[in-house]
Amino acid sequence: MTYSIVARDSVTGELGVAVQSHWFSVGSVVVSALAGVGAIATQASPNLSFKHRGLEMLRDGMTAAEVSRSLREDDAAIEHRQFAIVDANGGAVAFTGSACMGEAGQYSGDGYTCQANMMRNDTVWATMARAFEQAGGPLSLRLLAALDAAQGVGGDLRGQQSAAILIVPATGTPADTVVDLRVEDSSAPLVELRRLVTLGGAYRLADDGDDFVARGDFATAAGRYIAANEIAPDNDELRFWAGLGLIGAGVPRRGLAMLRASIASDSSWHELLTRLDPVDVPSSGEALRLLAE
């Protein structure tokens, strides 16, 4: 009882799946993906084994079409299922059983497939496809555009409750993800999911900053922290690290203003500053000195 999109980014090779439903924690049910292998959505009356079994078959070299056929062969309740698979080469296949509750259907294009059941009308899946094809930017934003478009033409007959997005890289280990976010229970899950995707992008930049600090490249780290703060300027933590980054980069006035704003919001940030080792964060000592002036 949901709508979803499964897709491969033809430029980056990333694989992703996004979903929304009037059901609690839909992400824990529907989505699965594995770096360099594929992505799967299973819904309607979902067979959860399709996720790990399907990914195992893709990892063993089967195509999306071959996996789809195999999964359908030994499931006595297959006509109650709806599922979709995209493989690492962009092969995209969806299945909608004849017993899925209407309106139900699917639309598959080049490297993606959209599917939905129990919709308010039968325009949802084609509308999702158009939105995905017309959207620009990274895969995450294109997937979100498809979800928003589905809701815009009616979406789930019952309304909204939860949403999720999972994106994995073109290569990597089973632990590697690009985006892995869920909204478990909300009156506006798509709005919240988009907010989390934006905030997640900021934190990934901050993570990059941490990596550069560990390498001793403080100038590059400062740039990452500052970029993160620009995405989420009201986030105390990102503002704190951006402030330290600016001080380290020789822009003390702006950096000090950021630190003071975070400390004014919660004095714990000043306590953290006193605990930082100047060997690990060279600008921390200078920051304390400036704050004391």
pLDDT band at 27 (very low <50, low <70, confident <90, very high): very high
DSSP, collapsed to helix, strand or coil, labels residue 277 as: coil
Specify the residue for token string 């009037």.
Answer: 22
Q: For residue 228, what are its two tokens? A: 């993160």
Amino acid in the structure at residue 177: T
**Percent of the chain beyond pLDDT 90?**
89
Q: Compute the distance between CA of residue 255 and CA of residue 226 in angstroms, rounded to an integer.
A: 10
Helix (H), strand (E), coil (C) string for 204-222: HHHHHHHHHHHCCCHHHHH
pLDDT for 214 equals: 82
| pLDDT, tens digit, 9 for 90 and up, residues 168-212 | 999 999 999 999 999 999 999 999 999 999 999 999 999 998 898
Mean pLDDT, the chain, integer: 96
pLDDT for 22 equals: 97
Range 216-227 average pLDDT = 88
Give 202-292's CATH code, choosing from 1.25.40.10, 2.40.30.10, 3.40.50.300, 3.40.640.10: 1.25.40.10
| pLDDT, tens digit, 9 for 90 and up, residues 247-274 | 988 889 999 999 999 999 999 999 999 9
pLDDT for 224 equals: 93
pLDDT for 93 equals: 98
| Residue 274 φ then ψ, to 5° | -70, -20
Range 43-49 average pLDDT = 97
By CB atoms closer than 10 A (0-12, 13-18, 19+), residue 21 is buried
Range 13-36 average pLDDT = 98
DSSP, collapsed to helix, strand or coil, labels residue 101 as: coil
Architecture category of domain 2-186 in CATH:
4-Layer Sandwich (3.60)
pLDDT band at 213 (very low <50, low <70, confident <90, very high): confident
| pLDDT, tens digit, 9 for 90 and up, residues 133-178 | 999 999 999 999 999 999 999 999 999 999 999 999 999 999 999 9
Q: Compute the distance between CA of residue 165 and CA of residue 179 in angstroms, rounded to an integer.
A: 7
Q: Which residues pair with 17 in a beta bridge?
A: 6, 166
Q: pTM to 2 decimals?
A: 0.94
Q: For residue 131, what are its two tokens? A: 């939105």
Q: Compute the distance between CA of residue 167 and CA of residue 19 in angstroms, rounded to an integer.
A: 12
**Percent of the chain beyond pLDDT 70?**
100
Q: Compute the distance between CA of residue 20 and CA of residue 158 in angstroms, rounded to an integer.
A: 12
pLDDT for 14 equals: 98
Range 102-127 average pLDDT = 97
| Residue 211 φ then ψ, to 5° | -65, -40
Same fold, 2-186 and 202-292: no
67 contacts: CB under 8 Å, gap ≥ 6: 38, 54, 57, 58, 85, 87, 93
Domain ranges of the chain: 2-186, 202-292
| pLDDT, tens digit, 9 for 90 and up, residues 230-243 | 999 999 999 999 99
Please name which of 34, 42, 10 lies closest in space to residue 139, comparing C-alpha atoms.
10
pLDDT for residue 215 is more than 90:
no
